[in-house]
Structure 1
Amino acid sequence: MTRIHAISGLDIAALPATLKARYFQLTDRMEIHGPNLREPHTKAFGEGLFELRLKGAEGIARVFYCTRIGRRIVMLHGFVEKSQKPPARELKLARQRQKEIENADA
């Protein structure tokens, strides 16, 4: 079974209700079936970074994650989306956190 970890600062509780419910539905599936749920649920951004795509009545949210050895999924950064493409600052923050996780595991 896959284990999911959220890093400090990732506030899933702050998401609107339908987005939060969708997050838990998809992460439950990830725990059982692994991290690759495929589009439209997940998307690869290269270099080991992925996004979990959440749609609900209140809009769209994205949660960036990476995978680690030992069937671990680490949720790095989440935000409510306002455009089709994730803002550069959101992607940059996710990549920074990914590097921190990789360095801690080294």
Structure 2
Amino acid sequence: MRARFVWISQLITEHGLENLGEPYVKHIEKALWEIRLKGKDGISRALYVTAKPKRVIVVRVFIKKSQKIPRKEIKLALKRAEEIE
């Protein structure tokens, strides 16, 4: 999963966040986005916000066990994002 995260981070650096879409990143709600990670160990998500146009801050990473992102994960990520601003 870490290698996949690093690879997607490099894609963001090379191509720009605005040019990268699904299946790598997806908007969740408000300022919250997700980096979608899939590997032999399962599926995980890294929730992030952009603090400045060229700065991505990951506020939560978790292993995904259900189809939808649990609401408590979204609330925790949004709370952490507010602390950054």
RMSD across aligned positions (CA): 1.1
2:42 equivalent to 1:59: yes
Of 90, 96, 106, the match for 2:73 = 90
CA distance in 2, matches of 1:51, 1:70: 16
2:19 equivalent to 1:34: no
Q: Which has the higher contact order (CA 8 A, sep 6+)?
A: 1
Q: Between Structure 1 and Structure 2, how many residues are aligned?
A: 84
Letter of the 1:61 partner, please give it: S
CA distance in 1, matches of 2:27, 2:53: 20
Letter of the 1:22 partner, please give it: R
- Alpha-carbon contact 1:35-1:67 (below 8 Å) kept: no
| Structure-1-length-normalised TM-score | 0.74
Describe the SS at the equivalent of 2:17.
coil
CA distance in 1, matches of 2:27, 2:56: 14
Higher alpha-carbon Rg: 1
In the TM superposition, structure 1's runs of 4+ consecutive aligned residues that sit over 6 Å from their partners are none
- Alpha-carbon contact 1:43-1:51 (below 8 Å) kept: yes
